Structure 1
Amino acid sequence: MTSRVYRLHSTLELKLDDVHEFFDGYELPVEIEDVEVTRRNNTLIVSAVAAEDNISKYTPTAQLKASITENRLYETEDGWQETPPEPDMGASVGDGDGPQWGSFSDSGQVQEEPEINSKLVEYACFKGDRETVLQNTALQYPMFEVLCDLAKFAEKGTLTAIAAVDGDLVAVRIVDGEERSASVEVVDDPRERESKNTVNWRDNKFISG
């Protein structure tokens, strides 16, 4: 029985270098022989290469799609962080050119605060629903397994999904690299409830013409 993904939502963010590092040592599902990682401007595409010849070369295989953005990181005592470190409290001194921030030395002169080191780092953002993040149906579920492992490798973001595996519905929830408990809840379709509660204005005996 073919497994497939019905619902998916992702907010995963990884450094672009970490994505390449992940695939360098990753053991792919048996249905996938290899993946092709391609960058097109500010878009990253990870395409599956089928391990068997039963898929035509003209059939588009499943692919993961991410947008590439730049985030500024700041050097702190705990390493590089997205949040800049708290500046030391200094004194404000005004002159003809405007105020200056700093601290007083023993001689009474203003000392400038040390400059905070920062750098721009490229991130791959796998964000959106199934049609945005996991495209095409051939090899869809094996590529979904790759996405789940990538979510466990990521330090930031959430992946939630509902998939059918061997005829059973399975819920997946991975938050900041950790698997969390998840379940599938079956509820009434609100559209059906609305249709039952809708008044038939044409054949209503309480309305006179």
Structure 2
Amino acid sequence: MVVLSSSFAAPVEGVLYESPLTKLLVNNQELGTATLYITENNVVWGGGVGATGGNSPTISLLYPTISLHAVQREPSPALYMVLNYELRLPELTQQGGGDAQNDEDDDEDDDFDADTHPITQLRFIPQNEADLNPMYSAMSQGQGLHPDPADEVDDEDPYMDGEEFDDADEEFEDAEESNGAPDEAAARLRQLRLENANGPHYEDYEDAEATE
């Protein structure tokens, strides 16, 4: 669930990390600069200035809606997230103008079915790049407090743990699949198990990375 609001109240309980002056890009469109709060129960961004002036909207994300989070280094250092939800904001519609419909028409031609698999890409860009690692750690801690029962498997299964993708594209240093996309995660897990049944060909697999 994603909660949008025009009012803002800073979280006071269970705050794992707070990052002021954090810019937010939603699908590559700037929404503004505000404070990012990573708490035990949700992720909140708000209390700042919107990209077009005035107060920024307040966005509250529950962990089950976040299917992946990662540290991104390019094109700019950011905490990258993928939501299993199509986030629609009036501010983005106003910025996009008449191109929004054209973009939707173009998307219909893609192999990816947005109606079946709606997603939103978020990039939280802190004022200080040094904040990225503690932001990622706080996200992992908060996500760990909200496991998806559908994703529970054998405790020794290596594919259910967050991993550091050292051999992946340098754009993403760390990535962790969350409980928001069980169907995709389960499909990938089944594929890996099927392949591994014929032999431990680990070198044939590339590390998972966030989809642009």
Scaled to the shorter chain, the TM-score interval is under 0.3
Higher strand share: 1
TM-score calculated relative to the size of structure 2: 0.25
The structure with the largest helix share of the pair is 2
TM-score by length of structure 1 reads 0.25
> Highest relative contact order (Cα 8 Å, sep 6+), 1 or 2?
1
